[in-house]
Chains A and B, each alone.
Chain A
Amino acid sequence: MTTSHPGSLLTAHDLRKAYGPTHALDGAEFSIHSGEVVAIMGPSGSGKSTLLHCLAGIVPPDSGSITYDGRELTKMSDAQRSALRRSEFGFVFQFGQLVPELTCVENVALPLRLNGASRKDAERTALGWMERLEVDDLKAKRPGEVSGGQGQRVAVARALVTGPRLLFADEPTGALDSLNGERVMELLTDAARSTNAAVVLVTHEARVAAYSDREIVVRDGKSRDVERAI
């Protein structure tokens, strides 16, 4: 059972989702405030990624409600959810999922261009974010030519470039060594906090979860808050 705070940016209640006979979510609860970093933890196959996908409106739940900024996500059309993801959400995935044929700066500028920004403006803004994430020297390189840590920082820049109110990060350091992972988490959380963006962070590493303000554990499709010792 998670605690629902009044004034939450995103709240989910009694979420259920099954893939065939497997119940990925079985009454999960979730809430997050602006500027908050919440880590979703749990073993492999526990349903944490499914919870993130449902919260982000990527996958519709079978039942339950998700309220974002007073709007019911489950009642929105696919086009409306896509528009929301484009304008108010940001995403970082485990392997970055950068478009291999685009240069790094073009990758970062991609969400802005999807929102209709001109190429020039989009790339100027993108370069600003790349500087903040210390990867501006990679602007002309393609993802295949940069290291995993660098690529993931480019992916973080791409997630933040639209100034999202909510950032979803699914195992953002899963493919990185500890040093690179820590650097990416520092940059990600610092940048998010500086813009008052909330971060939903899926991870199975306690070291990564330590960057969050609050932790939720998902097990067998159910979620519960974790009390922290310190």
Chain B
Amino acid sequence: MNTRQWARDLAVGARFAVTGGREGWVRMTLTAVGVGLGVALLLLCTALPNVFAARHKVEDARYDYTYSDKVPPKADDTFLIAATDTVWHDVDVRGRLVEPEGKRAPLPPGVDSFPGKGEMVVSPALKELLASDGAKLLRERLPYKITGTIGESGLIGSHELAYYAGASGLKLTDSSPVHRLTGYGKPDATPEKTDPVLLLMVLVVFVVLLTPVAVFIAAAVRFGGERRDRRLAALRLVGSDSHMTRRIAAGEALAGALLGLVIGSGFFLLGRQTLGSTELLGVSVWPSYLDPSPGLAALVAVAIPIAAVLVTLLAMRGVVVEPLGVVRAAKQRRRRLWWRLLPPLAGLTMLYPMIGKGHENGDFNQYLVIGGVLLLLIGITALLPWVVEAVVVRLGKGALSWQLAVRRLQLSSGTAARMVNGIAVAVAGAIALQMLFTGTQSQYTKATGKDPGRVQMQVDFSDRKPLSGVEREFTGTKGVRAAVALAISEYGDARRNPENSNGLTVGGCTALRELATLPSCKDGDVFVTRTRSHYTSSSNADEIAVLKPGRKLYIDPSYDDATERGIEAPWTVPANVRVVDAREDSLQDANSLLVTPAALPAKAVPALFSDGVYLRLDPSVPDSREHIRNVVARIDPLARAYSWSATEEDVKYTSIRTGLLVGSAFVLALIGASLLVSQLEQLRERRKLLSALVAFGTRRRTLSLSVLWQTALPVGLGLVLATTVGITLGSVLLKMTRTPVAMDWASVLTMTGVGAAVVGVVTLLSLPPLLRMMRPEGLRTE
């Protein structure tokens, strides 16, 4: 056999595919659409690294913060900028107040001209939001006139909410969040080292998402295969030998795969545009970010046609096409287990050397990780047919519907296993990743020590704010149940350059009671806590010794090396100073010296900095947080208002998890669609038989139940195998990251439940066509 013969046979097959009349076209279109969906998803996945890089690049390019102590002098090319980020219904809004100080001040990326005072340039998404009916409160918060839009180069996604508002008179002080800059961009663009465990997660997420897609493509090239096999019998009659017939069949699949590549590219371009105009789980991108790497795209273009030919040749091994239109399944050999165990064992062998590596011992070998995970997951597709065969061959007795299903599975367990392969691989991967995520969650989630049951929001003002009146601003706000305000300052034992200095916290009795247990309190009282707070158990003995009644101190002392001079307000520790206990659940890591406002001299008031207003909200009032943010924006546009949460997750960790969720949703939808097509195809094949069974009185319920069993049995077995492999892979990954292996049964059940639900939905969707096909009209031949 030579290459020319191969090429000729494949070409004949491809020609049959396009000249096979309506049925041929339907089959090829089905294959092509299936392959196309897989190709589109593969291309999108290969484009994902670029998405993260592109977003990162924009974030770096528009960076407008400096940690440097050296403030450049005001010049023609400097500008003042302050972050005024806010939140609108849990969605972040990136905001900046910007004030050019000269004509040559550089423009922010994506902005054509500086907005004047009272004006702003906005992202297209924010413009749309502000124009919508439901954004009245946001319009109140951003009372600027829109004079332009921010271009793609200044936004990390098409749906990002962002604005630059013009300002004048921004104050550059030690304590304000205003910065003077000469340009945008991160000064030290040295890439930070990625956490090896996070990198491992990214690799595994990729393999876990892409393997089911590959399995799906393998299934898609066999759409309509049974019908095609029958037609090929006619070729045997005119002299084609069995090898030629197989190659011709492969040629038909090749044509479908090639058309699939074209359709897939179309789907990809369509998806690229669609993704560019939508937002998933709070993440949006620009279409230009979704550019697959050329190498990977070329690999997809070459691998898929080759896979189509190989899969068809393999599948045809089990079919004997004879002349005279007779096609019989070749005498089925019992499947052998030994070689089917090789891929998962090889996978484990590849992962084994990396066990115990953890965060500290360098990077994981990417090739070993990809190879190992891939082999373990592909191992499912090798093992599942054996498992299904081994189990169904032992089944038998039962109701008629059960018998019909079991016999069908015994006759073609391979078809059943193939149907479930994709779901099983996806579920196994998801279980493993879920275990990895749950196991490492504590490493990427830290407790904030804040109790959102007690305080729901906190406001930090940007600069010195008088303490009195701040609470009142909020107590009248819709949805605020209570507000307590705290201020801080510093005291020292000398007017200038004190030897002993410390912080003091100022607040009304209600506010101070949130920090310490006070036996009694009235305005004018002063307290010292025995320990600083629950954050540290160290004793305050030294400070208590300094704060003796009658001791003369200075509030806000001056230092020779400071840029600004302190207030230097003299203050004598009153006789009624009392030592109290800090509360275990203190609102903040407060200072030891707690002072009520009347105990301070009037001269000291300008030395106080707001140290947060703590708000308790009425959950029954809608939009209470939005009302509060509006009040904050009115009082101090540079203030930060944020909600309390008990934990804080690492941003990268969260984005990998979000990526997995988005990807899994796509993959499961794809697999569901493939299952539905296979199911309908099988039913169509059996249309006449179903009609005949109904003709002699078989109840539709019996046939429906048999279809259900036929699906449920392999799915059940597939999910058991998927759970086993998933838990094994999850345990290995946890051991690789040096995390104790703990089973998260809730996740395992959820993942298997999702897999089962997809199959359930597919079965439900296939019932109406099944019932239609059972009509006796199916017996008509003319």
Q: Which residues in A have some Cβ–Cβ distance to B below 8 Å?
A: 19, 44-45, 49-50, 53, 56, 58-59, 82-87, 89-91, 93, 95, 97, 99-103, 106, 110-111, 113-114, 119, 142, 144-145, 159, 170
A95 to B687, CA, bound (A): 14
Given the interface contacts A97-B688, A101-B407, A142-B411, does A91 sit within 8 Å of B696 by beta carbon? yes
**B698 is contacted by which of A87, A102, A103, A114 (Cβ under 8 Å)?**
A114
A114 contacts B400, C-beta separation under 8 Å: yes
Contacts of B397 in A (CB 8 A): 119
CB contacts under 8 Å to A, within B280-332, are 328-329
Contact with A along B398-422 (1 / 0, CB 8 A): 0010011001111110000000000
- How near does chain A come to B344, taking the closest CB pair, in angstroms? 30
Chain B contact-residue range equals 20 to 34
7 contacts between A and B (CB under 8 A): A49-B779, A82-B698, A82-B699, A97-B688, A99-B689, A113-B403, A142-B411
Q: A59-B777, A113-B403 are in contact. List 4 more A-B contacts (CB 8 A).
A: A85-B697, A99-B404, A102-B403, A144-B329
Contacts of A87 in B (CB 8 A): 697
A58 contacts B411, C-beta separation under 8 Å: no
Contacts of B694 in A (CB 8 A): 58, 82
CB contacts under 8 Å to A, within B690-711, are 692-699, 702
A159 to B697, CA, bound (A): 12
Given the interface contacts A49-B781, A53-B776, A58-B695, does A113 sit within 8 Å of B689 by beta carbon? no
B780 at the interface (CB under 8 A from A): yes
**A101 is contacted by which of B410, B692, B702, B776 (Cβ under 8 Å)?**
B410
A99 contacts B693, C-beta separation under 8 Å: yes
A90 contacts B779, C-beta separation under 8 Å: no
B404 contacts A86, C-beta separation under 8 Å: no
CB closest chain-A residue, reference B406: A101
A58 contacts B407, C-beta separation under 8 Å: no
Contacts of B403 in A (CB 8 A): 102, 106, 113, 119
A114 contacts B702, C-beta separation under 8 Å: yes
Contacts of B407 in A (CB 8 A): 99, 101-103, 106
| 3 closest Cβ pairs, A-B complex | A86-B697, A97-B692, A58-B776
A101 contacts B411, C-beta separation under 8 Å: yes
Contacts of A101 in B (CB 8 A): 404, 407-412
Interface of chain B, main secondary structure = helix
- How near does chain A come to B119, taking the closest CB pair, in angstroms? 69
B499 at the interface (CB under 8 A from A): no
Given the interface contacts A99-B404, A99-B693, A102-B404, does A59 sit within 8 Å of B329 by beta carbon? no
A53 contacts B779, C-beta separation under 8 Å: yes
- How near does chain A come to B412, taking the closest CB pair, in angstroms? 8
**A85 is contacted by which of B329, B400, B412, B695 (Cβ under 8 Å)?**
B695
B776 contacts A59, C-beta separation under 8 Å: yes
A113 contacts B400, C-beta separation under 8 Å: yes
A213 to B541, CA, bound (A): 121
Name the residue in A85, A97, A111, A170 with the highest tally of chain B Cβ atoms < 10 Å from its Cβ.
Answer: A97
**B696 is contacted by which of A85, A106, A144 (Cβ under 8 Å)?**
A85
A111 to B702, CA, bound (A): 12
Contacts of B90 in A (CB 8 A): none
- How near does chain A come to B323, taking the closest CB pair, in angstroms? 15
Contacts of B697 in A (CB 8 A): 82-87, 89, 111, 114
B328 contacts A144, C-beta separation under 8 Å: yes
A103 to B407, CA, bound (A): 9
- How near does chain B come to A30, taking the closest CB pair, in angstroms? 18
B400 contacts A91, C-beta separation under 8 Å: no
- How near does chain A come to B104, taking the closest CB pair, in angstroms? 80
Contacts of B696 in A (CB 8 A): 85-86, 89-91, 111, 114, 159
A44 to B780, CA, bound (A): 12
A179 to B672, CA, bound (A): 50
A100 contacts B411, C-beta separation under 8 Å: yes
Contacts of B692 in A (CB 8 A): 91, 93, 97
B192 at the interface (CB under 8 A from A): no
Contacts of B780 in A (CB 8 A): 19, 49-50, 53
Contacts of B409 in A (CB 8 A): 101
Contacts of A44 in B (CB 8 A): 782
CB closest chain-A residue, reference B408: A101
A87 to B696, CA, bound (A): 9
Contacts of B779 in A (CB 8 A): 49, 53, 58, 93, 170
Contacts of A56 in B (CB 8 A): 695
A45 contacts B411, C-beta separation under 8 Å: no
A97 contacts B689, C-beta separation under 8 Å: yes
Contacts of A142 in B (CB 8 A): 411
Contacts of A85 in B (CB 8 A): 695-697
Contacts of B404 in A (CB 8 A): 99, 101-102
Contacts of A97 in B (CB 8 A): 688-689, 692-693
A45 to B693, CA, bound (A): 23
Name the residue in A19, A99, A170 with the highest tally of chain B Cβ atoms < 10 Å from its Cβ.
Answer: A99
CB closest chain-B residue, reference A155: B692
A45 to B404, CA, bound (A): 34
- How near does chain A come to B404, taking the closest CB pair, in angstroms? 7
- How near does chain B come to A113, taking the closest CB pair, in angstroms? 5
CB closest chain-A residue, reference B410: A101
- How near does chain A come to B767, taking the closest CB pair, in angstroms? 17
- How near does chain B come to A102, taking the closest CB pair, in angstroms? 5
Contacts of A159 in B (CB 8 A): 696
CB closest chain-A residue, reference B776: A58
Contacts of B702 in A (CB 8 A): 114
- How near does chain A come to B492, taking the closest CB pair, in angstroms? 92
CB contacts under 8 Å to A, within B572-597, are none
- How near does chain B come to A125, taking the closest CB pair, in angstroms? 15
A86 to B699, CA, bound (A): 9
Name the residue in A83, A90, A91 with the highest tally of chain B Cβ atoms < 10 Å from its Cβ.
Answer: A91
A82 to B397, CA, bound (A): 25
CB closest chain-A residue, reference B407: A101
CB closest chain-A residue, reference B331: A145
A145 to B412, CA, bound (A): 15
A111 to B692, CA, bound (A): 12
Name the residue in B411, B688, B696 with the highest tally of chain A Cβ atoms < 10 Å from its Cβ.
Answer: B696
CB contacts under 8 Å to A, within B375-432, are 397, 400, 403-404, 407-412
CB closest chain-B residue, reference A45: B782
A102 to B695, CA, bound (A): 18
CB closest chain-B residue, reference A95: B688
Contacts of A103 in B (CB 8 A): 407
CB closest chain-A residue, reference B780: A49
Contacts of A111 in B (CB 8 A): 696-697
Contacts of B776 in A (CB 8 A): 53, 58-59
A85 to B697, CA, bound (A): 5
CB contacts under 8 Å to A, within B213-263, are none
A191 to B777, CA, bound (A): 29
A145 to B320, CA, bound (A): 13
Name the residue in A56, A83, A114 with the highest tally of chain B Cβ atoms < 10 Å from its Cβ.
Answer: A114
CB closest chain-A residue, reference B328: A144
Contacts of B408 in A (CB 8 A): 101
Contacts of A59 in B (CB 8 A): 776-777
Contacts of A100 in B (CB 8 A): 411, 689
- How near does chain A come to B14, taking the closest CB pair, in angstroms? 30
CB closest chain-A residue, reference B782: A45
A145 to B695, CA, bound (A): 24
- How near does chain B come to A148, taking the closest CB pair, in angstroms? 9
- How near does chain B come to A31, taking the closest CB pair, in angstroms? 22
Contacts of A82 in B (CB 8 A): 694, 697-699
CB closest chain-A residue, reference B329: A144
CB contacts under 8 Å to A, within B639-695, are 688-689, 692-695
A166 to B350, CA, bound (A): 68
